[in-house]
């Protein structure tokens, strides 16, 4: 219902990148983005709806600041502090390693890279830095 029936001329014009085709792409990307956002919202609602009663039964501070996860012990303990700290450490480590590599690679490609090597490295680096789905939008700006 979002897309109207196209004539043969409109279809051929769409294949060469006309304005109509770009509008259809934006609509498609918007629908996909909206579906992704709704999926994340539904996951959050499900987790909170099922998790809040459990956290209330265990206790907020015991759950978030407890340092032992032993659900089969008697009495069971459900502390997620080590998991939270582990996630923070892994994220910090990835940033410490990834940001300098990314910035130094960009500087090397932009300022110091020989042309022959640039032609080989550029196609390999592009998918890492941004997806090819956003490439038409970036080039139009």
Q: Indicate the pLDDT class of residue 90, thresholds 50, 70 and 90.
A: very high
> What is the C-alpha radius of gyration for the chain, rounded to an integer number of angstroms?
25
How much is the pLDDT for 138?
47
Checking if the pLDDT of 9 tops 70, the result is no
**SS3 call for 26:** helix
More confidently predicted of 74 and 90: 90
pLDDT at 43: 97
Better pLDDT: 136 or 94: 94
pTM for the predicted model, two decimal places: 0.56
* d(C-alpha 81, C-alpha 62), whole Å: 9
């Amino acid at each position: 219902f979002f897309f109207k029936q196209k004539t043969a001329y409109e279809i051929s014009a769409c294949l060469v990148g006309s304005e109509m085709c770009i509008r259809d792409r934006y609509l498609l990307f918007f629908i996909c983005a909206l579906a992704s956002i709704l999926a994340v919202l539904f996951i959050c609602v499900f987790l909170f709806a099922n998790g809040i009663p459990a956290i209330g039964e265990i206790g907020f501070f015991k759950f978030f600041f407890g340092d032992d996860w032993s659900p089969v012990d008697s009495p069971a303990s459900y502390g997620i502090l080590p998991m939270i700290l582990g996630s923070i450490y892994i994220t910090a480590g990835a940033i410490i390693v990834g940001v300098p590599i990314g910035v130094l690679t960009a500087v090397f490609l932009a300022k110091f890279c020989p042309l022959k090597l640039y032609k080989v490295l550029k196609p390999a680096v592009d998918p890492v830095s941004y997806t090819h789905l956003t490439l038409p939008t970036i080039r139009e700006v």
